[in-house]
Amino acid sequence: MKRTLDEPSILGDSMVDIPDIGHRVQIEVDGHNGKTTHEGVILHPAAKGHITIKLANGYNASYAIDEVIAVKTLSGIAEAQSTEVAKLQFKEGLPRVRIIHTGGTIASKVDYKTGAVVAKFEPEELVSEIPEIAQIANIDAVKLGNMFSDDIRPQHWNKLVDATQQAFDSGCDGVVITHGTDTLHITSAAMCFAWSGEGTAPPGRIALVGSQRSSDRGSSDASENLISAVLWAANGPQPGAIRGDAAVVVMHSSSHDGTCSIQPGTGVRKLHSTRRDAFRNVNSQPLAYINFEANQPKIILDSTYQTDLAQTSFEITNKPRKYSESVRIAQFIAGPYLHEEEIEAIVANGVQAIVIHGTGLGHLPIDDPGDDAPENIKVWRALTRCVNRSIPVVVTSQCINGPIDMNVYSKGRKQQEMGLLGHGSVTSPDSTVVKIHYALSNNKDVAKVLGMNLCGENINTLRE
C-alpha cells in the first residue's frame, strides 16, 4: 500500500507518493546544498513535515517535505529479507567459548517498522555477522534474554551466574556475555563478586562486551569489541581473583578502530553516552589491550597485572555466590536537595542499606554554621537515627575517581563519629553498591567488608 506525503500523521502536505515504512527507496531532493539523490530505507519521520531514510552507512537523512522532488521504490520491506544462518562447525584444537546473549546495542539492528534500534539478533546471527570469531574459538551460544541493560536487575545477575557456571561445567574455556552498555559495568562488578568475593577465581575467563553503535551502522564498534572479547575468553590468562579480573569489560580504547581495552570488572564505568571509548577506569588500570595489527588481534598484557598474576596464589571455585533478590539499597545524592523527609520515607519502606553519593572526599550537608539551614541539621539527625537502627549508611563520591577520605576536614571526622561508613575506600560508586549487596546477600558484616579488597575493587596502592 502506498501512502502520500499529505497524510498529517505521517509527513504533512506534499502530494509525493511514498511506500510504507521499511521499503528501500531512491529519493531526489533539493536541499541546502542543491539537488542530490540518496538511497536508503524509509523510517518514521524525525519530525512532522519531514521524510527520513536510513542510508547504507548507517546514518539517517531527513528532509523537509517541500524539498522532495521524487521518491522511487527500489525493493520491499528490508526486515522481510532474511538469510539462513549456517550451523556452527567444531574445529579441533581451538578453545571453546560460550556466548551468553542478553541483548543490547551489540546485538541490535534497526526495526524498519518503527525506525528504532531494537535487540533482534539470535545468538547464531550474532556469530554469523562476525565470522572472524570462528577462527579464534569453537563458539556455542545461548540466549538468556533480549533486554536493554537498564532493565537488568539482581535476578538477572543470578541467571548470568548460573549460565556462566553451566558453561564452565560443560567444558568451556571462557565465556562472553553480550550486554547493553548502560549498566554493563554494574553487571561486571556483580560477576566479579559472585565468582571472586571469597578470594577464589572462576575456572575460566569471563568477558562482558557491548557496543555504542549498532552493527548495521558504518561506525559500529561491535565487530572489534566482540572479536576482542572472544580472544580474551579463549586465550587470556587464568583469572587470579585480583584487580577485578574475574569478569572483565571489553570495549574500544579510543574513538578510533584498532585497539580495545580489557578493563577490570570492578574498576570501570561508562562515562560518555555516545563515544565508542565511553568506558574509562575508576581508580584502576587496564589489565590488557587487544591490538589489531594487519587485522590480526593480539593480546598485550599490562606489565603490573602480569607480575601480580605471577606472584599471586589462588583457589579456583566451581560454586559462585548469588545475590538476594529481596535486598533493597537506597541511593541519595548529597547536595541542596537532600532532605530528612526523603530519608525517613525510604527507611519506612524497609531498606537494608543506604548509599549517599557525597561531594568531594565524601561530604554530606549536615552542618548549619550560619543558623540559616535547619534542613542540614535534620539530615544529620535522620542519618544518626539510621545508624542507631543498624542500617549501614555508606558514603561514596560524586567525583567518581579518587578516595573517600573523611580525615581531611572536621566534617568528615564528624561523619565517622556518627557511624557513617566508607572512609578510605577507592571502590567505584557503582561497585560499592554491588559490594554492599553481595555482603548483605551472604550474611557478611558490611562495615568490615567495605574496608577489604575482596577481588580488586579496593586497591589502596592506587590512591593518589
Same domain, 61 and 111: no
Give the model confidence (pLDDT) of 133-171 as tens digits. 989 999 998 889 888 899 999 999 999 999 999 999 999
Domain boundary among the residues 26, 52, 80 is at 80
User: Given this model, what pLDDT does residue 428 score?
Assistant: 96
Give pTM, 2 decimals. Answer: 0.82
Decide if 183 contacts 147 (C-beta within 8 A): no
Same domain, 169 and 243: yes
Same domain, 13 and 117: no
Flag whether 321 is in a domain: no
Average confidence (pLDDT) over 261-286: 93
Give the model confidence (pLDDT) of 408-426 as tens digits. 999 999 999 999 999 999 9
User: Given this model, what pLDDT does residue 6 score?
Assistant: 39
User: Given this model, what pLDDT does residue 341 score?
Assistant: 97
Same domain, 212 and 300: yes
Flag whether 324 is in a domain: no
Could you give the C-alpha distances from 139 to 120, 180, 191, in angstroms and in order? 19, 21, 21
**371 a catalytic residue:** no
Cell of 236: 587470556
Flag whether 91 is in a domain: no
Flag whether 86 is in a domain: no
List the catalytic residue out of 105, 178, 317, 396.
105
**105 a catalytic residue:** yes
**444 a catalytic residue:** no
CB neighbour list of residue 303: distance below 8 Å, 6 or more residues apart: none
Average confidence (pLDDT) over 13-26: 72
Decide if 39 contacts 24 (C-beta within 8 A): yes
List the catalytic residue out of 102, 173, 178, 182.
182
At 73, which CATH number?
2.30.30.520
Same domain, 214 and 246: yes
Average confidence (pLDDT) over 187-216: 91
Flag whether 178 is in a domain: yes
Same domain, 278 and 335: no
Same domain, 346 and 302: no
For residues 357-368, b (16+ Cβ closer than 10 Å) or e, as one string?
bbeebbbbbbee
Decide if 102 contacts 119 (C-beta within 8 A): no
Average confidence (pLDDT) over 324-342: 97
List the catalytic residue out of 54, 109, 270, 435.
270
Same domain, 19 and 141: no
User: Given this model, what pLDDT does residue 31 score?
Assistant: 79
User: Given this model, what pLDDT does residue 75 score?
Assistant: 79
Give the model confidence (pLDDT) of 121-130 as tens digits. 565 676 777 8
At 393, which CATH number?
3.40.50.40
Instruction: Indicate the average pLDDT of the chain.
Output: 87
Same domain, 190 and 120: yes
Average confidence (pLDDT) over 291-316: 92
Same domain, 70 and 100: no
Flag whether 322 is in a domain: no
Decide if 438 contacts 194 (C-beta within 8 A): yes
Range of the domain at 130: 96-316
List the catalytic residue out of 164, 178, 181, 317.
181
Flag whether 88 is in a domain: no
pLDDT above 90 as % of the chain = 62
Domain boundary among the residues 80, 104, 135 is at 80
Q: What's the domain count of the chain?
A: 3
Q: Is the pLDDT of residue 452 over 50?
A: yes
Burial of 118: CB neighbours in 10 Å, binned 0-12, 13-18, 19+: middle
Q: Tell me how far apart the alpha carbons of residues 437 and 413 are, in angstroms, rounded to a whole number.
A: 26
Same domain, 214 and 109: yes
Cell of 308: 601480580
Decide if 24 contacts 75 (C-beta within 8 A): yes
Q: Output 36 or 79, whichever has higher pLDDT.
A: 36
User: Given this model, what pLDDT does residue 30 score?
Assistant: 84
At 192, which CATH number?
3.40.50.1170
Sorting pLDDT into bands at 50, 70 and 90, what band is 8? very low
Flag whether 109 is in a domain: yes
Sorting pLDDT into bands at 50, 70 and 90, what band is 461? low
Decide if 268 contacts 284 (C-beta within 8 A): yes
User: Given this model, what pLDDT does residue 50 score?
Assistant: 82
Same domain, 200 and 293: yes
Q: Output 58 or 261, whichever has higher pLDDT.
A: 261
Average confidence (pLDDT) over 203-212: 93
**270 a catalytic residue:** yes
User: Given this model, what pLDDT does residue 1 score?
Assistant: 42
pLDDT above 70 as % of the chain = 86
**Among 93-97, 109-113, 161-165, 388-392, where is mean pLDDT lowest?**
109-113
Domain boundary among the residues 55, 80, 105 is at 80
For residues 53-87, b (16+ Cβ closer than 10 Å) or e, as one string?
bbeeebeebebebebbeebeeeeebbeeeeeeeee
Give the model confidence (pLDDT) of 81-92 as tens digits. 444 555 667 888
